[in-house]
Structure 1
Amino acid sequence: MTDLALEPVPLRQSRAARTALLAAGGIYFTAEFVAAAAWTDPPYSYTYHFISNLGVHGPSTAFGQYMYSPLAWVMNTGFFLFGIAALAGVLALRGLPRGRRWAVIATAAVLAAGAVLVALFPGSADASAAHGLGAFAAFTSGNVLVILLGRAHRLLGVSRRLGRALVALGTLGLVSLAAFLAVVGSGAGVLIGLVERGILYPFLIGLAALGAASRPPRTVDRSGH
């Protein structure tokens, strides 16, 4: 018996889906790098500072951390656009039956809404409630989203290996979310920036990996030309 049952369905995802999913991660990582590079006095720390600090121009102090992001608008624009790009990519995906499609779209919509809230209400003390709600919504839904997409790998036309990787990434993000809440609750703040990135990076990488893997195969010219 062959192992065809483990092979993905030969499905071509639309260029819009591939581009938007790849763009979601690219937009976020570019915005974060540019905003962090502009924060030089003292230098921004990826392991110590909250991600949201990059969206606060300041100078100000909140949650025990000094905030001064000269290019806060870049980070907030990145938050906004990555959420919209992720939702657009999910909306353009093909192959999901109606029930699973709506579950995936609803989860992506929560991710997009959370990212927009984070962008519109930077992480200062004055906007802590709206910002916190948006961040928690984005963190949770983003990781649940890649788990759902991973479990639907055959329907989406990608490999079982990638499906398992997406599920693992989403699980890692949710475990990191629990660790983040524990560290915040303890008040220790040890490597808080690193732990927070353990929530966000997995699902961004997962979405980008899905977009990259969904490219149609290259046509082989059998004539030798």
Structure 2
Amino acid sequence: MIERIDTEPGTIAFGAPRTKQRRAAGATLAAAAVIFFLAEFIAAAAWTDPPYSYTYHYISDLGVRGPLEALDQYMYSPLAWVMNTGFFLYGVVVFAGAAMLTGLRGGRRGAVLVLAAVVGAGSVLLAFFPGDGQADTYHGLGAMAAIVGGNVLIILVGRWYRRHGVARRPGRAMVVLGAFGLVSTVAFLAVAGSGANVLVGLVERCAVYPVLVGLLCAGVSIGRARRPGELDQS
């Protein structure tokens, strides 16, 4: 006997197949953030001469084998392939998670999928066009697509939390994170454009990390099989 579970218009059905798909979507979105953080950590740990700085160096420097000087910075990343693989996998996994999420009834399919595709395409550009000064146009486009698209993506998923199976509090946190990330993106462009290189790595991470934390929030919340009525209570 199959039990029919009715939901309010615009929310997700929570039958057994839907619950499994929700958990898979949540795990995939969270995995994307983990992939990025791990790739960054491993590549940074291998950069020892001189040590890589999370506050001074661009994230993209980790994808440049070097040694060379570009963008007014010295770049030498022995495990550049790890960071570039991380960029590529991150983009693919974000899109896969969004595709699974919007496959559930009530998901805002168009906007979320388009933004996830923008993030995915941007991350792939970062992987294939490292920031070594040779293909700045493609690398810059990829960076802006991944950063701006990612922040807008978590804002929309957080704003439409009930439609995507996210609890209220994580949804609100995602909106705040995305807004902070967008403001930090403007600050990052200003600092990078000035050529001063003052804490440019820190400011860049203020624009990027909110996306990753937002994906983790979404992944953990979506992974919890909750019924629609419980989403507003968490």
Instruction: Give TM-score scaled by structure 1 length.
Output: 0.89
Secondary structure of 1:61's aligned partner: strand
Shift of 1:127: 1.5
User: Structure 1 stretch 108-117 or stretch 178-187: which is displaced more?
Assistant: 178-187
User: Structure 1 stretch 197-206 or stretch 152-161: which is displaced more?
Assistant: 152-161
Shift of 1:10: 7.2
Distance in 2 between residues matched to 1:168 and 1:14, nearest whole Å: 23
1:127 to 126, 135, 149: 135
1:142 to 141, 146, 150: 150
Deviations 1:166-195 (A, max 9, x none): 100100110010000111122221100000
1:93 to 101, 105, 108: 101
Distance in 1 between residues matched to 2:124 and 2:71, nearest whole Å: 22
Q: Is the 8 A contact 2:165 2:221 kept in 1?
A: no
Distance in 2 between residues matched to 1:208 and 1:216, nearest whole Å: 13
**Structure 2 counterpart of 1:198:** 206
2:196 to 188, 209, 212: 188
Shift of 1:154: 1.0
2:58 to 27, 50, 73: 50
**Structure 1 counterpart of 2:181:** 173
Partner amino acid, structure 2, of 1:50? Y
Shift of 1:96: 5.7
1:37 to 33, 41, 45: 45
Shift of 1:16: 2.4
Secondary structure of 2:134's aligned partner: helix
Deviations 1:73-117 (A, max 9, x none): 00000000011111100000154647x311110000000000000
- Cα distance change on mapping 1:113 and 1:130 into 2, 3 Å: same
**Structure 2 counterpart of 1:161:** 169
Identity %: 59
- Cα distance change on mapping 1:96 and 1:163 into 2, 3 Å: farther
**Structure 2 counterpart of 1:110:** 118
Distance in 2 between residues matched to 1:97 and 1:26, nearest whole Å: 27
- What RMSD in Å do the two structures reach over aligned CA positions? 1.8
Shift of 1:134: 0.5
User: Structure 1 stretch 89-98 or stretch 126-135: which is displaced more?
Assistant: 89-98
Q: Is the 8 A contact 1:9 1:158 kept in 2?
A: no
Which 5+ residue runs of structure 2 have no aligned equivalent? 1-7, 227-234
Shift of 1:197: 0.5
**Structure 2 counterpart of 1:223:** none
The count of residues paired between Structure 1 and Structure 2 equals 211
Shift of 1:63: 0.8
Which 5+ residue runs of structure 1 have no aligned equivalent? 219-225
User: Structure 1 stretch 127-136 or stretch 36-45: which is displaced more?
Assistant: 127-136
Q: Is the 8 A contact 1:146 1:167 kept in 2?
A: yes
Deviations 1:23-62 (A, max 9, x none): 1001000000000000000000000001000000000000
User: Structure 1 stretch 201-210 or stretch 8-17: which is displaced more?
Assistant: 8-17
Partner amino acid, structure 1, of 2:139? H
Partner amino acid, structure 2, of 1:156? H
Instruction: Give TM-score scaled by structure 2 length.
Output: 0.85
Distance in 2 between residues matched to 1:217 and 1:111, nearest whole Å: 27
